[in-house]
Structure 1
Amino acid sequence: MDPALAALFVGAALASLFMAWVIGAGSSGATPFAPAVGANAIATMRAAFVVGLFGFAGAVTQGGSVSEAIGGGLVGGASLPVAGVILVLLLGAGLMAVGIQTGYPIATAFTVTGAVIGVGLALGGTPVWPKYRQIAAVWALTPFVGGGIAFAIASVLPRPGVPERYSVPVLAGLVAAVLANVEFSFLGRGASSGSVRSLGRQALPVGGPTAAAAVTGIAALAVGVVVWWDVRRDERGGLRRVLLALGSLVAFSAGGSQVGLAVGPLLPLLDEVGGLSVFAVLVGGGLGMLVGSWTGAPRMIKSLAQDYSSLGPRRSISALVPSFLIAQLAVLLGVPVSFNEIVVSAIIGSGAAVGGRAAVDARKILVTVGAWAGSFVLSFTLAYVAAASLL
């Protein structure tokens, strides 16, 4: 390999690691356990430690889908050069670093997506409108769907007529049903071997949709029964354990989604440099996020947990269930999605259900929404101008 190309690739890899660190310190490291910290279910530093481990696991086992979308699905007819990759990663990480320092959650997905599209179009690429429409739909609907589901759950959990020893197990069973259908790379690829449901179908005497429904139902029932037993014998402790389990699942989903924002731009370069697999790149990105979660996430965890709403365990559960569902949908579709947007919207929805306006800081919400929209426009504009001028 040409020494100059090798040096540029090393620079791109370092920029990718920096981006992974920023993601771990910001969106993927802070948002999954912010509701649990707000509910006093876990300490801030311990939350950062746990979210780093689960985020790494998610990055390695589920990171390929979004990584491929970022690497080659946003611009047609053009492949980013090494210098373009470095520009994308530095712009995205720089804007995220500003968010971390100011305490406001800049949307990583918005900055990286805007930068990739801006550089690609400046270099002569063509827009991929179907993908843009899909991404725009997910981004636009997330606050309403996530916040709406959280509002509905938070409205039901405190009701005397709906005992939590029944309502919480039902929610846990729903999450288990979704998890049984999630694909994991270590179980294989494709519909025949990539999920727990697919493996379970091989052990049943029937096949097709009947077997799939049976495995999903068994998983949901088993988890629901365990949670029912736990909450029934120790309501406070059971709710805390459910909350921590949901936070771990959201952290896992965050790793699977967010690692693509850091390593996705590198994928088109792998054929040029040789010797590296996608799995190796995902491991590197996961490690960067792990370190970011351990060293930089506590500040953002505290900001989200304390500033957006006064959270209790029930409201936190209400926020984490839709966060997990939306995150896994985004991974399935290969859509880069902001975990700040997902979790913050769910926190707002759950807070509004119980405390009304008094439970939510309206000014900070408006500033955050402005930061989300502005981050995409700013990153696209800076990337386009810089690429057109320098590359």
Structure 2
Amino acid sequence: MGAFLISFVVAAVTGASSVSVSMAPAVGSNSITVLRGAFVVGAVGFVGAVAQGAAVTRGVGTEIVSGPVTFGMGTVALVVIGVFVGLGIYFEHSIPVAFSTFGAVAGVGFAAGYDPNLDYWTLTLGAWVASGVVAVVLAYGVTVALERLVPESPRVERWVDSAVLFAGVVFSFIGGGSQVGLAVGPLVGTVEDLGFGLLSLMAFGGLGITLGAWVKSPVMLQAVGRQYASLGQRTSLAVLVTAIPMVQVIANVLGVPISYNHIIINSIAGCGFAASGGGAGVDTRKYAGTLASWVATLFGSTLTAYALYRATMLV
């Protein structure tokens, strides 16, 4: 029961933080109010979780290591995920749930004597590295295209505002599907042993995303919305246009756990390079620090989960 509670909490935190970011540009431009934005994120995120969450959920639960993830292993993995998410909240630092989830499941698998599923690892690590580069390049290209091809006028700006709102709704749907598996994936083996299908597990995680979005995302939307407002609507649109197809393909088609922040931060970096004409608009030190924290999260969660599960085996 404790494992399901932790899973629900992680889903709620994901809904309040990662998935809610989808509507932040629209809130920042006053295209939608904070409360309506939070409602849309929760409702659309749930639909996305149920409709598209199977790929990442099954990938996390069955593909990372060579053997089945038992209830005990899944519980330890979720405890580690919860700890890393909690540390991120406490220190007010964004911890990518995708990296902590992958690392935690890998750690308990190694502790149980399993081998890494090399095909899935190659696909995942390749997608993480390639997506960062592609996000920078694609966002750069979209930003330049918007500046050169879309004229500035009040009417056009209204169209841009509408496009940002529509993109936010689409991204919320995609986000529900891509993020739910990070919270419930470690329990795939458990629910199948109990005779429940994957759909019920995704609906359970989707409810967590909805609750988190409705209860806590208004604060996140206000804070992040102000940041996007400072970027400008065209930059916000460029970020969303870059992120939507990448998250959809990597997570919901290939089944690879991917961090929203990983895609969005690299997209913003690409927009910064385009705006400055050579990278002067990008804080490279902060950017490098963020990348380093992601790597530390991956290795830290793996080692922590390994040590914790080995300790439980000795009891």
TM-score (norm 2): 0.91
Q: Report how many residues are paired.
A: 311
The 5 A counterparts of 1:207-286 are 234-274=155-195, 276-286=196-206
Name the structure 1 match of 2:297.
Answer: 375
Q: Which runs of 5+ in 2 are unaligned?
A: none
Encode CA deviations 1:37-94: one digit per residue, 9 max, x unaligned. 4444444443332222221111010001111111111110x22222221111121122
From 2, 6, 12, the equivalent of 1:11 is 2
Name the structure 1 match of 2:274.
Answer: 353
The 5 A counterparts of 1:1-391 are 10-30=1-21, 32-76=22-66, 78-159=67-148, 162-164=149-151, 234-274=155-195, 276-306=196-226, 310-330=230-250, 331-355=252-276, 359-391=281-313
Encode CA deviations 1:283-319: one digit per residue, 9 max, x unaligned. 1100101111122334444554455893111111111
CA distance in 2, matches of 1:283, 1:54: 13
- Superposed displacement of residue 281, structure 1: 1.2
CA distance in 2, matches of 1:361, 1:304: 18
CA distance in 1, matches of 2:224, 2:287: 11
CA distance in 1, matches of 2:281, 2:38: 25
| Greater Rg over alpha carbons, structure | 1
Is the CA contact 1:308–1:344 (under 8 Å) kept in the aligned structure 2? Answer: no
Q: Flag the 1:141–1:303 CA change in 2: closer, same or farther, 3 A.
A: farther
- Superposed displacement of residue 146, structure 1: 1.1
State which drifts further: 301-310 or 235-244.
301-310
- Superposed displacement of residue 235, structure 1: 1.9
State which drifts further: 259-268 or 306-315.
306-315
- Superposed displacement of residue 98, structure 1: 2.2
CA distance in 2, matches of 1:121, 1:305: 41
CA distance in 2, matches of 1:48, 1:358: 34
Encode CA deviations 1:201-253: one digit per residue, 9 max, x unaligned. xxxxxxxxxxxxxxxxxxxxxxxxxxxxxxx9932221111111111111111
Is the CA contact 1:107–1:371 (under 8 Å) kept in the aligned structure 2? Answer: no
Encode CA deviations 1:135-194: one digit per residue, 9 max, x unaligned. 0011111121112111111112122xx2359xxxxxxxxxxxxxxxxxxxxxxxxxxxxx
CA distance in 2, matches of 1:137, 1:14: 32
Percent of aligned pairs sharing the same letter: 34
- Superposed displacement of residue 370, structure 1: 2.1
CA distance in 1, matches of 2:190, 2:170: 31
Q: Which amino acid aligns with 1:389?
A: A
Q: Flag the 1:12–1:390 CA change in 2: closer, same or farther, 3 A.
A: same
CA distance in 2, matches of 1:362, 1:309: 21
Q: Flag the 1:354–1:56 CA change in 2: closer, same or farther, 3 A.
A: same
Q: Flag the 1:47–1:280 CA change in 2: closer, same or farther, 3 A.
A: same
Encode CA deviations 1:312-336: one digit per residue, 9 max, x unaligned. 1111111101101101111111111
Q: Secondary structure at the match of 2:231?
A: coil
Is the CA contact 2:35–2:218 (under 8 Å) kept in the aligned structure 1? Answer: yes
- Runs of 4+ aligned residues of structure 1 deviating over 6 Å after TM superposition are none
Is the CA contact 1:103–1:300 (under 8 Å) kept in the aligned structure 2? Answer: no
Is the CA contact 1:26–1:96 (under 8 Å) kept in the aligned structure 2? Answer: no
Encode CA deviations 1:353-388: one digit per residue, 9 max, x unaligned. 124656444444333222211111110010011111
Q: Which runs of 5+ in 1 are unaligned?
A: 1-9, 166-231
Q: Secondary structure at the match of 2:95?
A: coil
CA distance in 2, matches of 1:301, 1:375: 25
- Superposed displacement of residue 11, structure 1: 2.0
Q: Flag the 1:264–1:131 CA change in 2: closer, same or farther, 3 A.
A: same
TM-score (norm 1): 0.74
Is the CA contact 2:40–2:169 (under 8 Å) kept in the aligned structure 1? Answer: yes
Q: Flag the 1:345–1:33 CA change in 2: closer, same or farther, 3 A.
A: farther
Q: Flag the 1:348–1:40 CA change in 2: closer, same or farther, 3 A.
A: farther
Is the CA contact 1:114–1:376 (under 8 Å) kept in the aligned structure 2? Answer: yes
Is the CA contact 1:115–1:379 (under 8 Å) kept in the aligned structure 2? Answer: yes
